[in-house]
Amino acid sequence: MNSYHHIEKEDPELFTALDGEENRQAEGLELIPSENYVSRAVKEAMASSLTNKYAEGYPGKRYYGGQEFTDAVETLAIERAKKLFGAAYANVQPLGGANANIAMYMALLEPGDTVLGMDLSHGGHLTHGHPVTYLTKIFNFVRYGMKDVETGEIDYDDMCRVAKEVRPKIILAGFSAYPRELEYVKFIEIAREVGALAVMDIAHIAGLIAGKVAKNPFDYGFDVMTTTTHKTLRGPRGGMILTRESEDIAKKIDKAVFPGFQGGPHMHQIAAKAVSFHEALHPSFALYAKQIIANTHAMEKVFKAHAIRMITGGSDNHLLLLDAWKSFGISGGEAESLLDRAGITLNKNTIADDTRKPMDPSGIRLGTPAITTRGLREPESARVASLMVEILTKRDDITVEHVKKEVRNLALAHPIPESFI
Ligand SMILES: *Cc1c(COP(=O)(O)O)cnc(C)c1O
């Protein structure tokens, strides 16, 4: 566990909150599929003196002096990212996944241009054109979705028809809550036919692609990939934009990130990205990625045995989307708080064709990246799924208490590791 001696002495009020969070992470089971635990080495980089340094610009082209070491740091991050994903260019400055997407739109679109993206209730992300985002005031977002919610098959015929009608500049693939692999070939066929760029937001599955247990969209001809670095990839909170081959696109992206949209890069975060990419290039990371999927399948098997409705019928990746309303007669919100009481953290989620409101939808979304980092394997993952079913079925205080105890024991038996290599 971390120690915070200086904070404890200087700022006891803040220390209390920090210490509470340390314990929560240590003693509960984290099933939010977008969360993970980083290594001590990644944390050291995040806490490094690089936070003191202004480095506006790019390696070799900075606005301020004193860049000998920042250039070395950013170049390491860029080269490792390129190797990890088979990209010709990488911009490692985006502060998060949303920033990466905004910069990508700004680089590749003019105001008023059209993006064809995944329906948000079918698994797309807020930054793919949700009406609450400012993006929808600038660009025009049009949707594709699933043809069959029970199998997760995307309606590629409809996508093609809409693409021919609206002539999008970008066809955007990628998701936050879709448990299946996409048919990348179809995206590329349609994009080429209508003259659109093909962009994939790999925020959720970056670690699975890096670990070679998911297909790499670049192998199918995608032009650009945006991502977070803190989900399955197990790096610091941050974002990144990768370009497969076009120097012209890469230049536009660099300009859009800085000075177009962001200010000085967070060099401590970029150093931490470099460390995490180094970890992800190590052979042990492929085993981690493989175990994530094995653990998801172990959970899926338990849910299937209990006839629980899973959106798309199961999972090919790290996440599962359950219909709590149809399966247990409770809303996603109620399910989330019941599990929270027992130390199992996940999130309520809208499901396709949801009959309930977005603030209290029918579904819950869960995933295995964090518990896999803690060393849980198939039997333990299956046990967690069984405990979930028990709580959501019985829902009484005695059950919650007994599950809470077992969750705590499981967590303490699998402490958060300090290093991954
Ligand atoms: C998480 C996520 C993002 C946003 O990342 P932030 O770091 O939270 O800004 C963008 N796209 C997808 C698909 C995501 O899952």
127 touches 101 (CB < 8 A): yes
Tokens of 322: 């359950």
For 393-402, give one letter per residue: b (16+ CB within 10 A) or e.
Answer: eeeeeebbee
Fill in the amino acid letter for 77.
Answer: A
> Is-same-fold flag (44-280; 283-413)?
no
pLDDT tens per residue across span 28-42:
999 999 999 999 999
Q: Is 231 a catalytic residue?
A: yes
Q: Please, what is the average pLDDT of the chain?
A: 96
Ligand 1 mean position, distance from CA 101 (Å): 8
Active site residue 228: yes
* Catalytically annotated residue among 8, 22, 56, 340: 56
Residue 52: partners with Cβ closer than 8 Å, 6 or more residues away:
none
Q: Which atom of ligand 1 is nearest to the CA of 239?
A: 7
Mean pLDDT lowest for which of 50-54, 119-123, 188-192, 340-344?
119-123
Helix (H, G, I), strand (E, B) or coil at 108: helix
pLDDT at residue 121 tops 90: no
183 within 8 A of 155, measured Cβ to Cβ: no
Tens of pLDDT, residues 248-291: 999 999 999 999 999 999 999 999 999 999 999 999 999 999 99
Residue nearest to atom 4 of ligand 1 (CA): 97
CA nearest ligand 1 atom 8, residue: 97
**Per-residue confidence band for 154, with pLDDT thresholds at 50, 70 and 90:** very high
Question: Residue 51 and residue 302: Cα distance in Å, rounded?
Answer: 46
User: What is the phi/psi pair of residue 80, to 5°?
Assistant: -65, -40
C-alpha 319 to ligand 1 mean position (Å): 15
CATH for the 44-280 domain, from 3.90.550.10, 3.90.1580.10, 1.10.357.10, 3.40.640.10:
3.40.640.10
Q: How far apart are CA 263 and CA 222, in angstroms?
A: 28
Residue 195's pLDDT is what? 98
Q: Say if ligand 1 is within 6 A of residue 347 CB.
A: no
Q: How far is the CA of 183 from the centre of ligand 1 (A)?
A: 21
Q: Is residue 273 a contact partner of residue 77, using CB atoms and an 8 Å limit?
A: yes
Q: How many A from CA of 393 to the centre of ligand 1?
A: 32
Q: How many Å lie between the centroid of ligand 1 and the Cα of residue 238? A: 9
* Cα–Cα distance for residue pair 82/119, rounded to 1 Å: 30
CA-based max dimension of the chain:
64
The residue annotated as part of the active site, out of 4, 22, 54, 406, is: 54
Share of residues in the chain with pLDDT > 70 (%): 100
pLDDT band at 358 (very low <50, low <70, confident <90, very high): confident
- Please state the separation of Cα 35 from the chain's center in Å: 8
pLDDT at 2 over 80: no
Q: How confident is the model at residue 238 (pLDDT cuts 50, 70, 90)?
A: very high
Q: Is the pLDDT of residue 421 over 90?
A: no
Ligand 1, residue 202: give the atom nearest the CA: 13
Q: What pLDDT does residue 1 have?
A: 57
Alpha-carbon torsion (85, 90, 95, 97), positive or negative: negative
Q: How is the chain split into domains, by residue range?
A: 44-280, 283-413
**Cβ 49 vs Cβ 55: under 8 Å:** no
Q: Does residue 34's CB lie within 6 angstroms of at least one atom of ligand 1? A: yes
CB 90 within 8 Å of CB 240: yes
Q: 283-413 maps to which CATH number?
A: 3.90.1150.10
**Residue minimizing CA distance to atom 5 of ligand 1:** 97
Average pLDDT over residues 222-227: 98
Question: What percent of the chain lies above the pLDDT cut of 90?
Answer: 96
Q: Does residue 418 contact residue 44 with C-beta atoms inside 8 Å?
A: no
Quote the CA–CA distance of 223 and 114 in Å, as a whole number.
17
Residue 237: active-site member: yes
**Which residues in 343-401 belong to E strands, given as ranges?**
344-345, 347-349, 363-367
pLDDT at 120: 85
Q: Which of 43, 82, 237, 383 is the catalytic position? A: 237
E strand or H helix at 421, and its extent? none
Tell me, yes or no, if 244 is annotated catalytic: no
Kindly state if the Cβ of 97 falls inside 6 Å of ligand 1: yes
